[in-house]
Amino acid sequence: MGHSNISIFVPHAGCPHKCSFCDQHSISGAAFRPNGEYVRRVCTEALERINSPKDTEIAFFGGSFTAISRDYMTELLTAASEFVGEDMFKGIRISTRPDYISIEILDLLKQYGVTAIELGAQSLDDKVLELNDRGHSSADVVNASRLIKEQGFELGLQMMIGLYGSTEDSETATAKQICLIRPDTVRIYPVVILKNTRLGSLYQSGEYRTFEFDDVVEMTASFMEAFEKEGIRVIKVGLHASELVERDMLGGFYHPAFRELCESVIYRRLIETELENYGKVTYAEFLVPEKNLSKALGQKKSNISYFKARNIDLRIIPDRKLRDKLIIIKTR
C-alpha cells in the first residue's frame, strides 16, 4: 500500500531553535498560518476527491508541532479529529522535535486521534547535532522513540545527510542506529543549503565543504537498502520541488527526482551482483517490472552507459506481470 497524506504545513512559530540549515525567519514570516477552519476546509475537500480515505492520514508538517502553543495545537487537532473514523481518514500524522515528547504530550495526542509521530532526528552524532544548532542530543532521539513506540504510535524518523561536520562514517553510524531503533518509517533528506542560514554563510565562506553529489546518491542508496532489509519503509527521499528551494538554494544535494537517482543505483548494484554469477559476459538481458523500467535504465539511461563502459551491452525489458526487481534471461 502506498503512503498517502493530506499535508498541512504549520510554520515554525513554536520552534525554540534556529538550526543551521533552516531559514526560520523567512519561512515563519512568509508562510500561511493555518487555523481550525482551514483544516476543516482542506479535509472536507479531500474527502470529496479521494477514493480511499481509509488509506490516508491528515499530516501536520513543519518540524515542531508539539512545540507550538498548546491552544493552537489543540485547535488544529480538534478540527482534524472530526475527520478521523469510519468512512473518513485513518488517522493523524505529526512531525516534531525529539526533545518535545513526553508521556503527557503523547496522552494528549492520543486523545485527538494522532496515530503516527515523526521525529526530526537529522543525525545521531552528538557532535554533528551541536555543530548544527539542533538543541537536542542523540539520547533525546532514542528516548523519544522508545516512548512513542511504547505508547502504540507509528514511529517515523527523519535523517539529514551532509550536515556541517558530518562524515561518511558518521552518516553510516546514524543509519545503523536508526536500524537499531527500528522505526516504522524513515525520510531521508540530503542537505539543501539555503540563503539566509548559518549553513549558507559557512558554505559561502568555504568553511563548510559538502560531499560530492554522486557520493551522496551512492550513500543514500546504501541506506535505503539497509532500511528495506530491516523492514523499515522509506517514505520520502529528497526535498519536494518548490519555489523556495529553486530561489534560495546555494548548494547541497537537491534534484527533483533524487529518489529515482538512488533507486537507479540500487538497480545497478542488483545487475552487477547477478552478473557476477555468470563470469565474463559481453551481453545481458533482464526482465524488470514495467513500473520500474526507468529506474532500471537509470536517468538518461545511465545504467546502460555504466555497463557499456565496462564492455557489457545491457538490454532491459519491461514485464507487466513481474513482481521481483529483476530476472536475468540471457547472457553471452
Confidence of residue 2 (pLDDT cuts 50, 70, 90): low
* Low-confidence winner among 3-17, 60-74, 212-226 (lowest mean pLDDT): 3-17
Across all residues in the chain, what is the average pLDDT? Answer: 93
Question: Which residue has cell 539529514?
Answer: 160
Give me the pLDDT at residue 31, please: 63
pLDDT on residue 12: 67
pLDDT tens digit sequence for 31-80: 678 999 999 999 999 999 988 898 999 999 986 899 999 999 999 999 99
Average pLDDT over residues 246-257: 90
Question: Quick one: pLDDT at residue 142?
Answer: 98
pLDDT of 291 > 80? The answer is yes
| Whether the predicted pLDDT of 185 surpasses 60 | yes
* Contact partners, residue 220, CB within 8 Å, separation at least 6: 161, 188, 190, 237, 258, 262
pLDDT digits (tens, 9 = 90+) for 146-183: 999 999 999 999 999 999 999 999 999 999 999 999 99
At 82 the pLDDT is 97
Cβ contacts of 273 within 8 Å, gap of 6 or more: none
Say if residue 207's pLDDT is above 50.
Answer: yes
Average pLDDT over residues 244-263: 90
Q: What is the pLDDT of residue 28?
A: 41
Side-chain-side CA neighbours of 172 within 13 Å: the count stands at: 7
What is the band of 27 on the pLDDT scale with cuts at 50, 70, 90?
very low
Query: Would you state the cell numbers that stand for residue 130, as one nine-digit string?
Result: 551541536
pTM: 0.92
Confidence band of 13 (pLDDT split at 50, 70, 90)? low
Annotate 237-301 with DSSP letters as a single string.
Answer: ESPPP-HHHHHHEEEE---TTHHHHHHHHHHHHHHHHHHGGG-S-SEEEEEEEGGGHHHHH-GGG
Q: In the predicted model, what is the mean pLDDT of residues 232-256?
A: 87
Q: For the chain, what percent of residues have pLDDT higher than 90?
A: 84
> Minimum mean pLDDT among 1-10, 110-119, 132-141, 223-232: which range?
1-10
- Cα 180 vs. chain centroid, distance in angstroms? 18
Spatial contact of 34 and 79, defined as CB atoms under 8 Å apart: no
Where do the domains of the chain lie, and which CATH numbers do they carry? 4-256 (3.20.20.70), 267-331 (3.40.1260.20)
By mean pLDDT, which of 10-19, 157-166, 309-318 is the weakest? 10-19
**Residue 277: predicted pLDDT:** 93
